[in-house]
Each structure stands twice: as structure tokens, then as C-alpha cells.
Structure 1
Amino acid sequence: MSSALTQEMSKPHETVTPVESDVGRMPPRARIVASAIELFRQQGIRGVGVDAIAEAAESNKMTLYRHFGSKDDLVCETLKQVSARREQIWRDLEAAFPDDPLAQIRGWIEEAAECIFNDPRGCDLANAAIELKEANHPAFKVIMDAKKVHMERLTSLCRQAGTKQAEQLADALMLLVEGARVCGQSTGAEGPQQQLKRACDAMIAAYISP
């Protein structure tokens, strides 16, 4: 995959807080969500209060609560937007490699590797799931729904690529990617995550005949 395409596909995972000159051009609701996403990534959901979010968005608590009934509602919206950006990556891959499911799978692995190597903060959805351990937190449904759609997309591509064991291959690839994310956060730049693409290639070869 070309570096230009990789950079383009990685844009949804980049910092989304607008630069100061752009803040005033965004609607208040968009400013609040963008600021919340970035603050949650930097400090964790529990570590950020609504006052800090309102200040970063150049707004106030009254406006924040007018758009979101609670901080939990805002958390759910940020995770929905993160999930939507992940879906955009799949659409970009489909446009880049039409009618080539295997190339789309490899493109997803490439994009995941780029994020793991270049963004030590990891996956927003996974981080939120770990931090918000309460089973009844409304964000859990958002995370579960997003992960389910993601797995369905990957499984469908594995099936289209020619394996009758699509679910097993999709599970194996997801385990490798998610495991690499954890290694990237815990073992340093030269950890086992450096072998992600090689391990995924071996897994694909084990399930899909040339």
C-alpha cells in the first residue's frame, strides 16, 4: 500500500481537536465533541470533568448540558464518532481495492500497524471499555455495537477472500491486532508488536490458499 494512501486512511485516528484558529468556525456541539475526544484520549474519561471540556471547547457548562444531558451522554457520542471514523477506513479500503477482499484485509492490517507504531495511546474504544468497567454504563452498548460491526465486516472479507473458516480467521487477526496494541503500550517501541504484519501474513496463509 502506498504511503500516501496509508496516511489518508489514518486521518480518522489523528488528533481531532481543532487548532485555535478553527475553533470559532465550528458549531458549539462539534467543538464540545472534538474537545472531549482529545481530552479523553490524553487524560482518560474519568480524569476529565465537564468544566475542562467546556473550557477546551471555548464554551460553558450551560451550553454543554444543553446539547448533552449528562457527561455519560457526551461519552457515548464521542465513542459513536470514533466508531464512525473506523467505518470510514473500511470504506476507503473498499474504494482503494474494489473487488479485492484480501487486499482490503491487508490494508486494514497495514493501517492498524501504522496506528500502533505511531500512536501510543491505543484504541479509544478499547481504552473506554477498560476504564468504564460498570456493566450498566451506557457507553458499553456503544462499544459492543461498534466492535460487533467491525468484526462482521472483517469476517465478511475473510469469507469473500476464499476461506470457509472466516470466523476463525477474523478472530485470529483481531486477536493479533488487539494484542499488538497492548504490547505497543506496555513493552516499548521494539516490542512484539513489530511482528504484527508478519504474524498476520502467516495467519492468512494458513487459512487462505494461494
Structure 2
Amino acid sequence: MTTTPSARKVPARASEARARLLATAGRLFYAEGIRAVGVDRVIEEAKVTRATFYRHFPGKEDLVCAYLEDTDQSIRARVAAGAQQISSPAGLLDLLVEGIGQEMCSPGFRGCPFINAAAEYPDRESPVHQAVLRHRAWFRETLAETFRGSGHPDPEQAADIMLALRDGAMVAGYLGDPEAARLTLARAVGTLATAR
């Protein structure tokens, strides 16, 4: 894979302006789609100058990657916090399913931000698609560890099945009745977790 200048890892500079850019981009990208939202709109709504934008992000692709990485880190932090409060792998699995269900039933839900990004950036070699794959690999391994810890006979397959269930529930929650999708996911994962 060739690394273009904008695909190189740029060290994140912590600043209020960068935080506003990320928050604005995240809101717009999730609500309207990544390719539908231009840099000019993000700059305008974040109330920063063009120079400030380019000081933090060499290009739009870098902003998209930062948005996905920020979303990934937020999810990882929530899972880690939940894991510290839960005493068993089964409890963590319940917590994950509950969190997914709450997300699906929240106002403005538009599906999984990572699946949405992968659909807009189908080239597996693109930095955006790679950010999606990194998040997915982490989540799948988290699921496998949880099933492994709960004594599931095939934790790898259980993780794959739960990931597929979660993906399907996210789509069903967006396109149909989110509460029905939440209940279906909970029942299906409950069956999967007790499979021996």
C-alpha cells in the first residue's frame, strides 16, 4: 500500500479547536454521511478558520480517520469501565448487549458508524477502511475473550455469530423498529451464550 501525504499518521494536537472540529465532524458525518459533508461545512459549523483546520488535519481523510479513532476510543473506554464494574464475563456480555440496545433506541440512530464508513470507503487499503477494520478486530476479540471467560465451547465462532447478530440488529434498528431489534438481539445472544 502506498502512503499518501494525507494518509500518514499525524500526531494529534490537543486543543479546543481540534475537539470542536472532531465533535462537529462526528455529528455531521454520522447524521448525513461522510462523503456528503465537505470540509468547508465542518470548518464553518465548528467556527474555526481554514488554517486552524489544516493545522490539525492535512485533509478530509485525516479528519475522517480521527473521527473513527475517536469513536473507537470512546467505545473502548465505555467497555473497559463496564468491565471494571462487572464481576463475570456473562455480566459483561449482558452489558454489551444492553449498550448496543440503548444505542439502537436512541434518537437520531443511523446504524453503526463503522459500517457506514466502510460502505462509503469500500477500498480495503484506504486509511478509513483500515480504521474500521481495526475497531472491528478489537470488538471481535473482546467478544471472543468474553465468551472464552464464560466457558463457551467455541468462543471464536460465538464471537463471529454475535458480531453478525449485532450488525443485523443495528441495520434492523435503523430501518425498522429499534425496540423489536433490541429484544431480538438480547434473545439471540442469550441463546448463543448458553449454547453448550
TM-score range with shorter-chain normalisation? Answer: 0.7 to 0.9
Q: Give the conservation status (yes or no) of the 8 Å contact 2:83–2:92.
A: yes
Cα offsets for 1:116-135 (capped at 9, x unmatched): 12252111111101111233
Residues 157, 188 of structure 1: alpha-carbon distance in 2 compared, 3 angstrom cutoff: closer
Deviation at 1:34, TM superposition (A): 1.0
> Residues of 1 paired with 2:124 and 2:19: CA distance?
28
Out of 67, 77, 102, the residue aligned to residue 88 of structure 1 is: 77
Match of 1:103 in 2: 91
> Residues of 1 paired with 2:95 and 2:178: CA distance?
22
Corresponding pairs, count: 181
Q: Give the conservation status (yes or no) of the 8 Å contact 2:148–2:155.
A: yes
Match of 1:145 in 2: 134
Percent identity at matched positions? 30
Secondary structure at the residue paired with 2:151? coil
Q: Give the conservation status (yes or no) of the 8 Å contact 1:183–1:193.
A: no
Q: Segments of 4+ in structure 1 off by > 4 A? A: 189-193
> Residues of 2 paired with 1:151 and 1:82: CA distance?
16
Match of 1:165 in 2: 154
Structure-2-length-normalised TM-score: 0.86
Query: Which one-letter code corresponds to 2:92 in the other structure?
Result: Q
Residues 192, 28 of structure 1: alpha-carbon distance in 2 compared, 3 angstrom cutoff: closer
Kindly report the root-mean-square deviation, in angstroms, between the aligned alpha carbons of the 2 structures: 1.5
Out of 58, 61, 64, the residue aligned to residue 50 of structure 2 is: 61
Q: Give the conservation status (yes or no) of the 8 Å contact 2:104–2:178.
A: no
Structure-1-length-normalised TM-score: 0.81
Instruction: Give structure 2 stretches of 5+ with no counterpart.
Output: 1-14
Cα offsets for 1:63-92 (capped at 9, x unmatched): 101111110011000000000011012112
Kindly indicate whether residue 29 of structure 2 is the aligned counterpart of residue 40 of structure 1. yes
Out of 106, 111, 118, the residue aligned to residue 118 of structure 1 is: 106
> Residues of 2 paired with 1:84 and 1:189: CA distance?
25
Kindly indicate whether residue 165 of structure 2 is the aligned counterpart of residue 176 of structure 1. yes
- Structure 2 matches for 1:12-51, cutoff 5 A? 27-51=16-40
> Residues of 1 paired with 2:139 and 2:124: CA distance?
21
> Residues of 1 paired with 2:97 and 2:179: CA distance?
18
> Residues of 2 paired with 1:190 and 1:80: CA distance?
28
Query: Which one-letter code corresponds to 1:74 in the other structure?
Result: L
Residues 61, 83 of structure 1: alpha-carbon distance in 2 compared, 3 angstrom cutoff: same
Secondary structure at the residue paired with 1:118? coil
Q: Give the conservation status (yes or no) of the 8 Å contact 2:69–2:131.
A: yes
Deviation at 1:189, TM superposition (A): 4.2
Q: Give the conservation status (yes or no) of the 8 Å contact 2:152–2:193.
A: no
> Residues of 2 paired with 1:115 and 1:188: CA distance?
13
Q: Which deviates further from its counterpart, 125-134 or 44-53?
A: 125-134
Instruction: Give structure 1 stretches of 5+ with no counterpart.
Output: 1-25
Q: Give the conservation status (yes or no) of the 8 Å contact 1:51–1:60.
A: no
Deviation at 1:190, TM superposition (A): 6.0
